[in-house]
Amino acid sequence: MFVAVGRIPGTPEAVARAARLAGLALPDAARMLAGTLPRILARATPDGEGLAAALVAEGFLAWAAEPSAVPTDGTRLVVRSLDWEPGGFRAVDAKGQTHPCPLDAVRLLQRGARTQSTTEVLKTKERRFDLGKAVLSGGLLLTKKVEKVEERTTHAKEPFLLVQRGDGHPDLMVYEHGMDYRCLGADMRPATLANLALLSARFQALCPQAPLDDRVGRPGFVAGLPHLPVDPVDLALDLVSEARRRGC
């Protein structure tokens, strides 16, 4: 169980109090809480609820959660296209199934990017001079075939828009390159990144009750999280979602 902090009291000794409650050295607590909130103060503690309650009593906004409860794309609806309708829209997934959603069910919009890694195995064959073969063959055979295996890993960022629902239905994940933007109509642009920004603006206009939060996409936010048995981007999205739910 980890303990997250969404707000720190504005007193000079606040971080020292958090360090004492969590059993951390002050420099370690300061490092864990540095940067844009929310941050994780304790990544593994048997009494997360107790620590969170103690922090709340000291004026922090804090909560405890299990890494296994962090939502992933396996529990979300990955959207391929949208169809607008009065008071809502219909999201279409990769299987062509349609999922209706009223506009007033949208509670939060999050922008960010996920790094996709692709590993490619390259096999090449080349001839190399072989002194032993040349001697044994009297100079008739001078080379041998050598197979070379090389792995190349490329990393590419995939921007996304996460449309989070507050009615108990799965959240909607829109990836830049996996979306059909014809729902934008005459506003659609040639560039997919521009279309993702337009789609975000469209949701903002249609769902004024849902704030747009870009913390997950800010430099250092995801990288500053401690290692947990969950994808760091999913962890960051969940932290921001819970912080927003609690008013920060």
Q: Transcribe 186-202 into DSSP letters.
A: GG--SSHHHHHHHHHHH
Q: What is the mean pLDDT of residues 203-208?
A: 98
Confidence of residue 126 (pLDDT cuts 50, 70, 90): confident
125: CB partners within 8 A, 6+ apart? 145, 146, 147, 148
pLDDT at position 28 over 70: yes
List the beta bridge partners of residue 40. Answer: 4
Per-residue pLDDT, 138: 67
Provide φ and ψ at 198, rounded to 5°.
-65, -40
145: CB partners within 8 A, 6+ apart? 125, 126, 127
Q: Name the E strands within the chain.
A: 2-7, 39-42, 61-65, 77-78, 81-85, 88-92, 98-102, 106-129, 143-165, 172-175, 212-213
Confidence of residue 115 (pLDDT cuts 50, 70, 90): confident
Q: What is the mean pLDDT of residues 162-166?
A: 98
- Which tops the pLDDT comparison, 116 or 33? 33
Give pLDDT tens digits for 53-89. 999 999 999 999 999 999 999 999 999 999 999 999 9
Q: How far apart are CA 135 and CA 219, in angstroms?
A: 61
For the chain, give the percent of residues with pLDDT over 70. Answer: 89
pLDDT at position 130 over 80: no
DSSP character string of 16-41: HHHHHHHT--HHHHHHHT-SSSPEEE
β-sheet with 106-129: strand ranges across: 77-78, 172-175, 143-165, 106-129, 212-213
User: Positive or negative CA dihedral for 178, 180, 183, 189?
Assistant: positive
Q: What is the mean pLDDT of residues 35-47?
A: 95
What's the whole-model pTM score? 0.85
Q: State the DSSP code for 74.
A: T
Confidence of residue 243 (pLDDT cuts 50, 70, 90): very high
Per-residue pLDDT, 180: 98
Paired tokens of 133: 């073969």
Selection from 113, 94, 218 nearest residue 162 by Cα = 113
Per-residue pLDDT, 153: 65
Q: How far apart are CA 199 and CA 64, in angstroms?
A: 33
For the chain, give the percent of residues with pLDDT over 90. Answer: 83
Q: What is the mean pLDDT of residues 30-56?
A: 96
How would you classify residue 87: left for phi > 0, otherwise alpha for psi between -120 and 50, otherwise beta?
left
Q: What is the mean pLDDT of residues 159-177?
A: 98
How would you classify residue 185: left for phi > 0, otherwise alpha for psi between -120 and 50, otherwise beta?
left
Least confident range of 108-122, 151-165, 172-186, 211-225? 108-122
Confidence of residue 105 (pLDDT cuts 50, 70, 90): very high
Q: What is the mean pLDDT of the chain?
A: 92
pLDDT at position 203 over 60: yes
* Cα atoms in the Cβ-side hemisphere of radius 13 Å centred on 75: 11
pLDDT at position 181 over 60: yes
Per-residue pLDDT, 84: 97
- Which tops the pLDDT comparison, 137 or 108? 108
